Structure 1
């Protein structure tokens, strides 16, 4: 996302579609002011990080056993929308959970949808993305 991209302007809506603005919603997690309190909020904040190309946040919230050494989200598609379909566990007092979602995107030629049922675990009070449910 370039500085002139409207999604990067102050007061722009959060890409995760939950909060009134990025700064008040996922921005607080990306800045490190707070950690996501549920697996769904972590998944939404990770989606917003892919939209905004926040590689540091993506790596920081990826479980160390499955985290890639490098990540280049700006080489991939441009994400345009998120739909959460279902979740199991992942609440304030759970230690694991799953979130099934659809991430809509365009690759410059055609539109598509990435569907995933993601697994999350909470360690030391912080939710971490593990990977797709097999």
Structure 2
């Protein structure tokens, strides 16, 4: 499903913008999230259990993610749509792995956040790709 250039982009420490179906009269509102492309081709993210996006994914388990190259690079993005499964296991471990990808630990607040995540638990969000769109300049 993913091309080599998609895998190269998705392997970088970039933010994914996760969009879930809104409730009621709200508009879709993407949220930046850390992500990991798993060996099985899914995209995995994490969230606090009480986050509105988790509640909405329980109601409508589908989402999209867009990852784009940063400004200053040739335009390149990958958009993935699919169903979502939520898991009570593996969220903290995913967050710990991704912290090493997205953070340096020079900032003491980073250890504090990891401690809070360990104590409160995290939900692992798994996006199962059904459709991929892309553009590369």
After TM superposition, is the score higher than 0.5?
no
When the two structures are superposed, what TM-score results if normalisation uses the length of structure 1? 0.29
Higher relative contact order (CA 8 A, sep 6+): 2
Higher helix share: 2
When the two structures are superposed, what TM-score results if normalisation uses the length of structure 2? 0.29
